[in-house]
Structure formats: structure tokens, C-alpha cells
Chains A and B, each alone.
Chain A
Amino acid sequence: MSKRILIVDDEPNIVISLEFLMMREGHEVRVARDGEAGLAAVKAHRPDLVVLDVMMPKLDGFAVLEAVRADQSLAATRILMLTAKGREAEQQKGLALGADAYMPKPFSTRDLVEKVKELLESRD
């Protein structure tokens, strides 16, 4: 079943890899290069799941997460956070702010695909 997935990250190569993985799973993929564009894309395209990087120019991942969670109409959006900052505190913060899952970089592609699948299924 095809889902709409939004990838928000400023690292071009990571975007390429994520895009490839999601498309291989048969999802419809959109990409945003920074937090602002990411938030706009969430509102415009209402993706089922957002893969959200934390360290980004303009608006960081936490801010985007907060904004999405603050919007009731976007409540159904699943959010998987990715970050190269592997600290425990960051993970706690992400989950506390309402992220559905949190994965550190570098991530295992298999785990990521599994996690995305799990999140999308939990919705249905």
C-alpha cells in the first residue's frame, strides 16, 4: 500500500539514500532541504510519515516537530527523527516533543525500513 513520505534533510547524499529506500518500498516520496521547506511541505502535502533530520539550516528538526504537533489537523502525521547527534538527551527531547520514533545516524537501512513499516501499520 503506497504511502506518502516526506524526507527533510540537508545532507544531499543521505536524502538520496532515503529516497531510494522509500521508493523501493513503493512509497510516494517528497524531499525538503531545510526545516522551513519541510514544515511547508508537511502542511501542503500532508504526508503519512516524515523522516526528519535534527540539524538543519533555518529551522531545526525539533522546531518542525513542535510546529507539526501543535497543529491538530496534522495529528495523524507519523514522525521518525534522524540525527547525527547521538546523545541520549537529544533522543529524550525528541520523544518528549512527540516524535514517534528516533534513530541515530549512521542508521541501519534494514532497521529504518522496518521502523517505517511499523509506524505506517500502526496507523491503520
Chain B
Amino acid sequence: MITGPLIIGASFAYVGLLFAIAYWADRRADLGRSIIAHPTVYALSLAVYCTAWTFYGSVGRATENGLGFLPIYLGPTLIALLWGSVMLKMIRVSKTERITSIADFIASRYGKSQKLAGLVTVIVVIGVVPYIALQLKAIAWSFTILKHYPALQMPDAATMPLWHDSAFVIALLLAAFTILFGTRQLDASERHEGLVAAIAFESIVKLIAFMAVGLFVTFGLLGLGGPELPQAVERAREAGLLDPLIKPGISPFQDWLAITFLAALAVMLLPRQFQVGVVEISDERHLRRAMWLFPLYLLVINLFVIPIAVAGLSMFPNGEVNGDTFMLTLPIAFEQPWLALLVFIGGLSAATGMVIVETIALSTMVSNDLVLPVLMRHWRNRRAPEDLGWLLLNIRRGAIIGILMLGYLYYRLAGEAYALVSIGLISFVAIAQLAPAVIGGLYWRGGTREGALAGLSAGFLVWTYTLLLPSFAKSGWLPAAFMESGPAGLDILAPMALFGLTGWHAVTHGLFWSLIANLGAFLLVSSFREPNATEATQARIYVDALRHRQPTSAPLWRGSADIAELMRLAERFLGVARTRTAFTDYAGSRDLPGLEALPADGQTVSFAETLLSGAIGGASARLMMASVTEEEALGLDEVLDILDEASQIRAYSHELEQKSLALEAASAELRAANLRLKELDRLKDDFMSSVTHELRTPLASIRAFSEILYDDPEIALDQRKRFLGILVSETERLSRLVNQVLDLAKIESGHADWRNEAVALQEVVEQAAQATEQLIQDRGIQLDLDLPEQPALVWGDRDRLVQVLMNLLSNAAKFAAAQAGRIDVSLCPSEHGWHVCVTDNGPGIPEDALELVFEKFRQTKIGGAKPAGTGLGLPISRQIIDHLGGRIWAENLPGKGANLCFELPAHRSETPD
């Protein structure tokens, strides 16, 4: 029913569909309506992580050690939480530096070193090509199994002629696809719209296929109308067939940890992941959705792994069917041809997606970082061809074919060997070697080119020794004895138990030692010297990627260049039209009228270098630029000065920000203070105006009467006497006023002299009463003093206290009743000290004026007439009492007149003065 031609036809149709999608997406992109500029498409393209190894292999791993397949998906899920920092940095750096690959990324970080880029490329190619072989093998396997439908037959060692080998045909098809959609333009930092669209589509196909089998099997397991499974499961359990699943020899904790960690690194550093995740992203905001959508995808595609494994183990109890094939063999066993075909297509999509993206990523690296450097060395002696762009594109196309053929060859040679079967995780460990250089480069400024070279080399060597060579030995390509002991029979150097470390899974063991060696060498060698100028510049761009959005390395170049030369160089790679457009746009971005106005300064050279980087990688671009410019070497000190300046400017601007905040606060305070000052100023003005008024009034009388007396000698004697009396009293009033104003000013400003001593209030009261005796008697007022025996000691200036009491007494005298006027003075102890009250029997003070009487020039009128006095007596009294730590107030006693009281703290005689 399912024949070879049908499968081949379906495969071709499927790949044809991929071509169509890619073609359509490229067309849309050309028209400016990008299909991949969407966060969901971005997240789906990241799912290229799930290869045929996931599609078929997860079930296989589950049959061997239960949940042991999970860490490979747990790692990416966990690391996705950190993408907001790590991935975002990688993306920002790659966009500004026009990074084309993971090799370019690392090389650019450590001073744009061609050597480093080459090393990374070698490691990645060696690590990843077998993985491509694994995909091809999966395609061939699934093809063979399906072709025998409805018979269940495991494929035997590949003996078919080349042209009948589906893997070979598929490899050729994929090469065509990759060349067509992956090398449309030289600028590898530009997006491959069609390719990404096809990858996203493949992610959907493999998910649907996996879910279809999963649902089919699960319904059967649950007895919901699917295949007849429950009894089989029961039997299988009794036979102990499910043991690996149910009682999985749960790999030790460190294996889980190691594989989780490994997968977390791989999902960012695998060339294909870097390609779709970093190079192809169109908008960094897409990352936000990918951070949850991609882990969700991983969760969903793993949902049915266990049910399928259970069903597989139950159906094929004798172990004649490989667990890796359950996905396909279960539908065949239940005679579901279309489901089996769907699974085949799903597996095909998982494999092709991986192969396409991995190949394009590797070909970029190989052409830019391996072939081009060799050619450049060659061109030193011989003239380079004029159109380098075309040459480079062809190199890249050749690399694509080369890599795919390499993968195919490895598959043919390795076949069923352990070296191929186990390559998944081993490949991950190779990729993990990039981690110290990448992660360290993003967060640590101290790394150097030699450090990165040493780390990568050490890690790669340990990886080869502990993982790659043993896998060859297990495949029978090396003597098995190789695994038993180290060179020269040194057991301590045994590749699978380095330094006596046994009991760990080979991958965990290899990962542990290779990363230790890698990290150790990286840190140690980096510590040999300070980063040089270029490294320091690049470190700033990488480490500070999230701080300033557009770091420029421009000011770090000094030398002479010629715009025409720069453009000629770019034209050789990018073509005349593209170069002119790019330079013109750049001139526009610098607000220059056109190309002619463009200065050949550091910024322009840096722009041209970045432009070229997109095509040939950072390291080669730097060398190319060096050939047409004359750069004066900038010493490290100078670079550090410039960087320092930049960071100082940053710090300064931060400081400015802080200062402006502080300034704002200060200015608010200032406004408030200003308001207070204005209020005080107004009060002072009022005071001055009042003082002036109070001075002018007696002066007016004095002047008027003086002039009257002067002008008119004829005035009657009694009238003359009266006028002279007025003159005397007004003069007295004037001098009193002047004294009081000065007094008040002195006290208020704190310049007054205080001759403080222990004073008995009795003496004060008596002295004041004596001084005002005349005034009081003149008014016919009776004065009563009620003073205690015991001396009422307070701490204060005797004269000023007498002044207070005189003010109170003369005040009371003014207000006491005209007939039978009385004034009572009482002195008694109070809670806080001594309490003095001067009470009159006058009309009292209106309630609302009780406080006002202590304001300057606020005289209460008696019966409408203006009282004699300056209006300063009570304000001065309040100042004095306040100064001595007491308080003074006015109150009305029911049925009596005004009551003016003050209170002063008692002075304890034993208190030292």
C-alpha cells in the first residue's frame, strides 16, 4: 500500500512545499511585507532545536531510562528565563556589529581575531557534522522502515547503491534548497526570510506529526477507541518489560544536572540556534514572546513521549524493534498507513530543518573564517580577483555542498556505529566549549584573545580525548584498550575515568573535565596580560550591550583613509549599487548632504568595516580595512583614556541626573523659603511702616507746637505752658518708642545683652510697682500685691523682668476702671515654676484679641480712644519671657477685667550657675 514511489513522491512534495514557502516568503520580503517579522514565527524557528533526534530519539531514550530524556528540554526552558539578559546582549551586539555566526561573534569579542574564528569554526564543524549525519541517517532509516509497510523490518546496514539511497537524494535536495535560499546575497548578517519561514513551517509539521501519534497511542492506552493496548500493557508490566520506564535507573543527580546544563548552553550556542535566534531575528522584542512560547513548544512536543514508549514496549515485548523507531513502527503495527506517512514527513521535517539551518550557519563560518583567510594570505602575493563578492558566494555554496557531503559520508562510514548513535550529546559537549568565551565575553572585561584561544583549545582537546576518541573506540575504529587506560598505561589518564573520576556517565564526565580545562585555561591565560586596545573596545561593546543601545567604536580609530578606497573595497564584495546605497544612507544618518561630504574619519572607517563584517565576518573585515587604511596604533593607555572618558561622561551624566533631581528638590525648598522670606519681608515692611507712623505722629505734634510757639510770641502764658507740656510728653513718647524699637530689634536678632542671674520675683514685682507707683496713683487706682514668703527664684535678667512687669502694670493701669480702679498682682508656684498674674478690673480684652495684644503696634482701644503707649510693651514682654524659657498670655476672668500672666521655670538654688 505504501510503496517506495509514494514515499519518495511525498518526500519530494514536502520539500517542494518548503521551496514554495521559502520562495513566497522571500518575495513578500522583497515587497517589504515580511512574513517572518512576527514573534510567533521567531519562536517557531527556534524550535529547529528539536531535530530528528528529538522526534525519534526521545522515545528511544525514554525506553532506556524513563524520564532521562527530559533534561535536554529542561535546560532550554530554564535558560530561557535568562534570555532577557544573555540572548538580548548577544542580539544587540550582533546587530550593531553585523555578526554573521557564532565564530564571528567570539572572534569579534576578542579583538577580531581570524585565528580565533578559525578555531571556533573547526570545533563547530567537527562537533556538528556527525550530527548532520545523524539526521541523514534518520531520514534513511525511516524511509526503509516505511517502505516495507505493512511488514515490520529493521533496516540493515546500508548496502543500497548510492542513487537508491534516500539519504543521499535528500542531502542533494537540501543542498539545493540551502544554496537557493541561504546564499541569495553575500551579506550573511541580513535575514534569510524564505529560509526562516520554511523552518517555522517545519516546526509546525513535526509538532503535528508527533501529537498525532501521541494522541492515537494515548487513546488506545486509555481505552478510548484507539488501538487495543491495555491488555498488552498489563502483560508487558508482568513481564517486567516496562521496568526501564517505571523503575528507571534514574540517572544520578549529576547526570541530570550536567545534561540540563549542557542543553541550556546548546540552545544558545549551537550554530543553528545562533543562526535563527540571533542572526535572523528581525526585532529584539520578539524575544519576549519566544521566552515563553519556545519552552511551551518543548513541553508540548514531549507530552506524549512516555505514553508512546509504554505502548512501544508493550507491543514489541521481545526487543526486536528499536525504541528509536517506535514513532514509526507503532502506526505500522496498527496498520495506520497514513499516520505512518505523517510520522515520516514529521521526521523528515525535523531532520531537514536542522540540516538546512546548520548547513547555512556552518557554510558561512567555513567560507568567512577558514577559506577567506587562506585566500587573503594568498592574495598578498598575487592580485585578487576584482569581484570578490561573487567569489565568496561561490565559496559559500561550495561549503554547503561540502558540509552536506561530509555529513553523508560520515553517515555512510559510521553506519550503525556507536560514534553516530551517541553523537547527539557528544555534539552538545563540543558546542558547550564555546560557552566560556561567549558568556565570559558578555559579562567579563578581562578576557583576552590568547585566553579564548587557550580555553577553546584545551576544552576541545579534552572533549576529543574523553568523548570523541572513546566513541571511535566503541565503534571498533580504535583498539578498545584505548578506553581502558591512558597513554603509556597511566590509569590516571584513562579517557573515560580521568583522574580516577568513575561512576559518571561518559557525557557528564567529558563535560566536567572539558569545561574545567576550558574555563581554567581561559581564565589563566587571560590573566597573563591586560586586554589590549581592540579587546578593551570590543569588551565595552559586549559587556555594556544593554547599557547604551548603540555603542560606537568609532572614536577608537585614528589614522588616514580615503573614502574612494573604502568604497572600492566594499564594492568588490557587495557590488557597486549596494555599496553606494549603504554609504549614501550612512552620510544621511550623519546629516551630511551626500557621499562627497563624507569625511574619512574613524566613524566612517568603522562604518565601512561593520558593513564589510556582515559579508565576510568581523576578523576578515578588519584585515581588509587595514589593507586600504593606514591606522596609527592607539596605545592601550589612549584607548583606556577614551573609554575612561566615556565612562566618566556616563558617570557624569548620571551625576547630573542626580544633581538635577537634587536641584529640583532644592528649588522647591527655595521657593518655599522665598515665600517665607517674602512673608517676613512683608512683616518687616509692615513693621517699618508702623514704626514710621508711630515716629511721625509725636514728631508732627512736636513740630506743630514748636512752630506755633516760635511764630507767635503773643500766646497767653497758660496756653504756652500747656503747649510746652505737650512738647515734653511727646518728646518722652518719642524717646520711649525709639528705645523700645531698638530693644525689640536687639532681642529679636539675638544681639541683646542678657545679664542673667538668680532673681527673686518678689523683688522684681516690688521694684516695678515702685516705678509705676506715680502713674497708678495719678489714676486713683488701688494696687494690691499678693506675694509668698518664700523667695520665688527664677533665672533671668533682673532689669528686663522689671521691664516686663512695668509693661504689665502700666498696661493694667490704662485699662483699669476709671472709678475704683484696682490692680492685683499675684505670685504663686505653678506646676512648672512661678506664675505671675496682673489683673485689672477694666472692660477686659475681646476674646479674639487675646493673642493680638502681643503683636507690635496692636493697641486695644478703650472706648474708642487711643491709649497712650507705644504698642510695643507687650510684644517686648513676650520676647523677654520666651527668651527665658517661660510663656506669657492674656486671659479674661469672668466678672473681672483683663488678666495678663506669665510663667517662668523655677531656679533651683543648688543648680550650678
- Spell out A's residues near B (CB within 8 Å): 10-11, 13-14, 16-18, 20-21, 24, 33-34, 55, 57-58, 82, 84-87, 104-110
Contacts and interface: CB of A to CB of B under 8 A. Distances in A.
Given A11-B866, A57-B864, A58-B864, A84 B708 contact: no
A71 to B, nearest CB: 24
Nearest to B710: A109
A14 B693 contact: no
Contact of B693 (A17, A55, A108): A55
B697 to A, nearest CB: 5
Contacts of A104: 696
Contacts, number: 72
B465 to A, nearest CB: 101
A17 B708 contact: yes
A84 B705 contact: no
Between A14, A86, A104, A108, the greatest number of chain B beta carbons within 10 A of the residue's beta carbon is seen for: A14
A108 B707 contact: yes
A41 to B, nearest CB: 14
A62 B708 CA distance: 28
18 contacts: A11-B700, A13-B701, A13-B705, A14-B697, A16-B726, A17-B704, A55-B693, A57-B861, A82-B700, A84-B693, A84-B696, A84-B697, A85-B689, A85-B692, A106-B701, A107-B700, A109-B703, A109-B708
Given A13-B726, A105-B697, A84 B692 contact: yes
B702 interface: yes
Contact of A106 (B694, B703, B711, B865): B703
Pairs A-B, 8 closest by C-beta atoms: A84-B696, A105-B700, A17-B704, A106-B700, A13-B701, A106-B703, A109-B707, A106-B699
Contacts of B712: 24
Between A20, A24, A105, the greatest number of chain B beta carbons within 10 A of the residue's beta carbon is seen for: A105
B491 interface: no
A108 B689 CA distance: 21
Nearest to A85: B693
Nearest to A17: B704
A34 to B, nearest CB: 6
B190 interface: no
B711 A33 contact: no
Given A13-B701, A57-B864, A107-B700, 10 more contacts: A84-B692, A84-B697, A85-B689, A85-B696, A87-B689, A105-B696, A105-B699, A106-B696, A106-B700, A108-B707
A54 B185 CA distance: 96
B703 A107 contact: yes
A19 to B, nearest CB: 11
A11 B697 contact: yes
B864 A34 contact: yes
Interface in B679-715: 689, 692-694, 696-705, 707-708, 711-712
Contacts of A11: 697, 700-701, 866
A13 B698 CA distance: 8
B64 interface: no
Given A14-B697, A105-B699, A110 B707 contact: yes
A64 to B, nearest CB: 15
Nearest to A24: B712
Contacts of B700: 11, 14, 82, 84, 105-107
Nearest to B725: A13
A109 B696 CA distance: 15
Contacts of B865: 10, 33
Interface residues of B, number: 25
B824 interface: no
Contacts of A110: 707, 711
B743 interface: no
Contacts of B699: 105-106
Contacts of B228: none
Looking at chain A's contact residues, is the secondary structure mostly helix, strand, loop, or mixed? loop
Contacts of A34: 864
Given A14-B697, A57-B861, A84-B693, A108 B866 contact: no
A108 B703 contact: yes
Between A11, A17, A18, A104, the greatest number of chain B beta carbons within 10 A of the residue's beta carbon is seen for: A17
B797 interface: no
Contacts of B692: 84-86
Interface of B: 689, 692-694, 696-705, 707-708, 711-712, 726, 729-730, 861, 864-866
Contact of A86 (B694, B696, B708, B866): B696
B705 A17 contact: yes
Nearest to B733: A13
A110 B708 CA distance: 9
Contacts of A58: 864
Contacts of B730: 13
Nearest to A103: B700
B531 to A, nearest CB: 75
Contacts of B702: 106
Contacts of B703: 106-109
B701 A17 contact: yes
Contacts of A55: 693
Contacts of B729: 13
A43 B703 CA distance: 31
B697 A109 contact: no
Nearest to A105: B700
Contacts of A14: 697, 700-701, 704
A10 B697 CA distance: 10
A24 B723 CA distance: 15
Contacts of A17: 701, 704-705, 708
A3 to B, nearest CB: 20
Contacts of A86: 692, 696
B692 to A, nearest CB: 7
B342 to A, nearest CB: 100
B637 to A, nearest CB: 70
A34 B861 CA distance: 12
A13 B701 CA distance: 6
A21 B861 contact: no
Given A13-B701, A84-B696, A105-B699, A21 B866 contact: no
Nearest to A34: B864
A32 B144 CA distance: 131
Contacts of A107: 700, 703-704
A86 B689 CA distance: 9
Given A13-B730, A85-B693, A106-B696, A33 B704 contact: no
Nearest to A84: B696
A104 B729 CA distance: 22
A21 B689 CA distance: 28
A10 B708 contact: no
A33 to B, nearest CB: 7
Contacts of A18: 704
Contacts of B693: 55, 84-85
A111 B694 CA distance: 22
Contacts of B711: 109-110
A57 B704 contact: no
A85 B705 CA distance: 20
B726 A20 contact: no
Nearest to B861: A57
A63 B866 CA distance: 19
Contacts of B861: 57
B696 A20 contact: no
Nearest to A55: B693
A14 B692 CA distance: 16
B263 to A, nearest CB: 87
Nearest to B694: A84
Between A11, A87, A109, A110, the greatest number of chain B beta carbons within 10 A of the residue's beta carbon is seen for: A109
A60 B866 CA distance: 14
Contact of A33 (B697, B726, B864): B864
Contacts of A21: 704, 708
A20 B702 CA distance: 14
A106 B703 CA distance: 7
B221 to A, nearest CB: 102
A85 B697 CA distance: 9
B741 to A, nearest CB: 15
